[in-house]
């Protein structure tokens, strides 16, 4: 059995009480590793190391931006060299098809390089200020925030980690990283790269273990200056509350229930394929998934027919054999998704395709499910209101543009949305009405490090990726210089 450890203050260590938790391969339901189960003591030790290191006069934040950038670039090079190894581990732990894991590693490399470059770009502004007290010049500089706690989910384990770690380190912060207990293995590998890159000990810390222990301790700590969290809205709410204790900076990337609007004048074949990418990619375990497909009534039958035909050709299997869909991440997630499908049936929706656990051939023990298409949904249905986080496409219909917009926005979430039409003006008109942070026209789901990522409403606070994703890990300091030092005669002498 493989044992993986926490990395605290430059050392690989067991948890303080010696406990481990099981790590599963969701394709076989077998335990593939045991991971050190971090305790509150371990978490506090990691926080203390990160705080000490942030305050160290020769610490990471005192390194020049150029030096930090070079170290980050060396990490990206190493990750790139070991792409296949990382991708295979990701697929083994999470279940996703190997080619999707390969894309994740490519993206992770690109994110690190982007932030390594970004930190060397000009930052801050010079300000033309009022000279009532004599000639003054103001300008701003960007500084790191301090100790950053980074907490991630299981759907893109390596990528979500790097999405936070790269900008946090580029900015000069010290970090404590807590990956999801479902998928800790690529994080451990990535920390080995960090260890070899020559960061001062205490700069980066990895604490695995349960969110209610490790995550809770991080968000409550007075010595943590920022929490960046990606995960469910419910956990995001508890972190938001805890963060108030010392007015931590906060970044929250939460759930979604995103609308994918398809007008009758859209290229049907393109719309069908992108809708599949929107809801079946990564087994539908995607925060931005286009889980509500809102189709113009006049093409509903044609659209559903093509979607079913194409879904029926999708291959399902062990992610290592690179099918179109691998297993869901865990037995729990499988139960949750199947539960939603049962509820849809009870509420009178029609299962057009799939809907069942998949147990053919090599899939008999793992947590596989058929790609599922549900029609006849309306705004009252549970599957329309709640995030499912599985390959379940729910179809609603509309008759007018206004109705499409109304349905699209009738949700507590606001993460993403898309419009398919061949009318350019209509596309832009509708997309501007969608209350969401990430939108697409005639495509679904592409993400770029150059473009900000984050949500409106209950989908979160702040943005990741892009230059804004770096600024989230920085404080802005204003500096004002008196250009004529000396007495100004404000008070009588
Ligand atoms: P989750 O249950 O909220 O867990 C996310 C992380 O938070 C895990 O590491 C978890 O640890 C930890 N956690 C649990 N309870 C905590 C607490 N009380 N305090 C601090 N941390 C705690 O979410 P998930 O099931 O892993 O991921 C799916 C969710 O993530 C979906 O809602 C999805 O929409 C969202 N997501 C959003 C984005 C985005 O960019 N907006 C991207 C990806 C995913 P343990 O599970 O190890 O206990
Ligand atoms: Mg796993």
CATH code of the domain containing 227: 3.40.605.10
What gap in Å lies between CA 290 and CA 293, rounded to an integer?
7
Structural domains counted in the chain: 2
Radius of gyration for the chain, computed over Cα atoms and rounded to the nearest angstrom: 24
d(CA 165, CA 135): 41
User: Would residue 486 count as lying in a domain?
Assistant: no
Q: Is 214 in the pocket of ligand 1 (CB under 6 A)?
A: no
3-state secondary structure of 398: strand
pLDDT in tens, 334-371: 999 999 999 999 999 999 999 999 999 999 999 999 99
Nearest CA to ligand 1 atom 8: 180
Q: For residue 99, is it within any domain?
A: yes
Determine whether the shortest distance from the Cβ of 211 to ligand 1 is under 6 A. Answer: yes
Q: Are 32 and 133 members of one domain? A: yes
Q: Are residues 169 and 43 in the same domain?
A: yes
Give the domain CATH number at 338: 3.40.309.10
Indicate whether 219 and 276 sit together in one domain: no
Catalytic residue among 287, 363, 377, 394: 287
- Strand intervals (E) in 399-485: 413-414, 416-420, 438-441, 456-457, 460-461, 474-482
State the pTM of this model.
Answer: 0.98
**According to the model, what pLDDT value does residue 131 have?**
83
On whether residue 55 sits in a domain, the answer given is yes
Nearest CA to ligand 1 atom 18: 212
- Ligand 1 pocket, 164 CB below 6 A? no
Same domain for 411 and 343?
yes
Residues 135, 218, single domain; the answer is yes
| Residues 53, 189 within the same domain | yes
Does ligand 1 come within 6 angstroms of the Cβ of 238? yes
Domain membership of residue 451 (yes or no) is no
313 C-alpha vs ligand 1 centroid, how far in Å? 32
Q: Answer whether 287 contacts ligand 1 (Cβ < 6 A).
A: yes
Q: What is the pLDDT of residue 323?
A: 98
Count the helices and strands in the chain (H runs, E runs): 15, 23
**Are the C-beta atoms of residues 154 and 94 closer than 8 Å to each other?**
yes
Examine the domain organization and report whether 211 and 95 are in the same domain.
yes
- Cβ–ligand 1 distance for 400 under 6 Å, the answer no
Determine, yes or no, domain membership for 491.
Answer: no
| DSSP, residue by residue, 244-271 | GGGT-EEEEE-----EEEE-TTS-HHHH
Q: Give the closest residue (by CA) to ligand 1 atom 13.
A: 211
Residue in 153, 334, 414, 452 to alter for ligand 1 test, most ligand atoms within 8 A of Cβ: 153
Question: What is the enclosing helix (H) or strand (E) of 141?
Answer: strand 136-144
- Same domain flag for 228 and 271: no
Q: Are 423 and 265 in contact (CB under 8 A)?
A: yes
Residue 61's pLDDT is 97
Is 100 among the residues known to form the active site? no
Best mutation site among 211, 216, 219, 290 for ligand 1 pocket (most ligand atoms within 8 Å of CB): 211
Atom of ligand 1 nearest to the CA of 238: 18
- Is residue 488 included in any domain, yes or no? no
- CB distance 256 to ligand 1 below 6 Å: yes
Flag whether 235 is in a domain: yes
User: What rounded mean pLDDT belongs to the chain?
Assistant: 97
Find the helix or strand (DSSP H, E) in which 294 lies. strand 292-296
Q: Does residue 287 have an active-site annotation?
A: yes
Are both 202 and 337 inside the same structural domain? no
- Which atom of ligand 1 is nearest the CA belonging to 242? 19
Residues 263 and 249 in one domain: no
> Are 250 and 267 members of one domain?
no
Is residue 143 left, alpha or beta, with left meaning phi > 0 and alpha meaning psi from -120 to 50?
beta
Output the pLDDT for position 325.
98
Domain with 334 in it = 259-441
38 and 64 part of one domain: yes
Q: 487 in a domain, yes or no?
A: no
pLDDT tens for the chain, residues 1 to 493: 799 999 999 999 999 999 999 999 999 999 999 999 999 999 999 999 999 999 999 999 999 999 999 999 999 999 999 999 999 999 999 999 999 999 999 999 999 999 999 999 999 999 999 888 899 999 999 999 999 999 999 999 999 999 999 999 999 999 999 999 999 999 999 999 999 999 999 999 999 999 999 999 999 999 999 999 999 999 999 999 999 999 999 999 999 999 999 999 999 999 999 999 999 999 999 999 999 999 999 999 999 999 999 999 999 999 999 999 999 999 999 999 999 999 999 999 999 999 999 999 999 999 999 999 999 999 999 999 999 999 999 999 999 999 999 999 999 999 999 999 999 999 999 999 999 999 999 999 999 999 999 999 999 999 999 999 999 999 999 999 999 999 999 999 9
- Please identify which residue in the block is written with the tokens 């759907």: 155
* 123 Cα: distance to centroid of ligand 1 (angstroms): 32
Encoding tokens for residue 426?
A: 């209509």
Ligand 1 contacts CB of residue 388 (under 6 A):
no
């Amino acid at each position: 059995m493989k044992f993986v450890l926490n990395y605290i203050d430059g050392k690989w260590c067991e948890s303080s009480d010696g406990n481990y938790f099981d790590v599963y391969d969701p394709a076989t339901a077998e335990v593939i590793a045991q991971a050190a189960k971090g305790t509150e003591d371990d978490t506090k030790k990691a926080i203390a190391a990160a705080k000490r290191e942030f305050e160290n006069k020769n610490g990471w934040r005192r390194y020049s931006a150029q030096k930090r950038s070079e170290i980050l670039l060396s990490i990206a090079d190493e990750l790139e060299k070991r792409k296949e190894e990382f991708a295979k581990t990701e697929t083994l732990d999470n279940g996703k098809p190997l080619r999707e894991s390969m894309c994740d590693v490519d993206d992770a490399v690109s994110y690190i390089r982007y932030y390594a470059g970004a930190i060397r770009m000009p930052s801050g502004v010079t300000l033309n200020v009022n000279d009532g007290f004599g000639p003054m010049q103001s300008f701003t500089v960007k500084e790191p925030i301090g100790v950053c706690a980074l907490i991630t989910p299981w759907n893109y384990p390596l990528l979500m980690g790097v999405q936070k770690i790269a900008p946090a380190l580029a900015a000069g912060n010290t970090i404590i990283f807590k990956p999801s207990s479902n998928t800790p293995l690529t994080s451990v590998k990535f920390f080995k790269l960090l260890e070899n890159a020559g960061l001062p000990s205490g700069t980066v810390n990895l604490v695995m273990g349960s969110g209610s222990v490790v995550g809770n301790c991080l968000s409550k700590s007075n010595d943590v200056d920022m929490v960046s969290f990606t995960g469910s809205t419910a956990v995001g709410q508890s972190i938001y509350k805890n963060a108030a204790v010392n007015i931590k900076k906060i970044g929250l990337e939460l759930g979604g229930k995103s609308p994918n609007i398809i007008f009758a004048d859209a290229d049907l074949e393109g719309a069908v394929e992108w809708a599949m990418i929107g809801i079946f990619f990564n087994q539908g375990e995607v925060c931005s998934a286009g889980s509500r497909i809102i189709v113009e009534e006049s093409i509903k039958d044609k659209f559903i027919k093509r979607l079913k035909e194409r879904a029926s050709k999708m291959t399902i299997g062990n992610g290592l054999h690179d099918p179109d869909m691998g297993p869901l991440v865990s037995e729990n997630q499988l139960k949750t998704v199947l539960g939603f499908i049962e509820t849809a049936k009870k509420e009178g929706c029609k299962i057009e395709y799939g809907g069942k656990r998949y147990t053919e051939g090599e899939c008999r023990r793992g947590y596989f499910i058929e790609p599922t298409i549900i029609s006849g949904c309306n705004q009252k249905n549970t599957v329309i209101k709640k995030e499912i986080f599985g390959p379940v496409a729910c179809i609603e219909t509309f008759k007018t543009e206004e109705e499409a917009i109304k349905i699209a926005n009738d949700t507590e979430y606001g993460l993403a949305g898309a419009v398919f039409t061949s009318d350019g003006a209509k596309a832009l008109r509708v997309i501007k009405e969608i209350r969401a942070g990430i939108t697409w026209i005639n495509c679904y789901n592409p993400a770029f490090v150059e473009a900000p990522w984050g949500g409106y409403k209950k989908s979160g606070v702040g943005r990741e990726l892009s230059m804004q994703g770096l600024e989230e890990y920085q404080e802005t300091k204003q500096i004002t210089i008196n250009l004529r030092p000396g007495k100004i005669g404000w008070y009588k002498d």
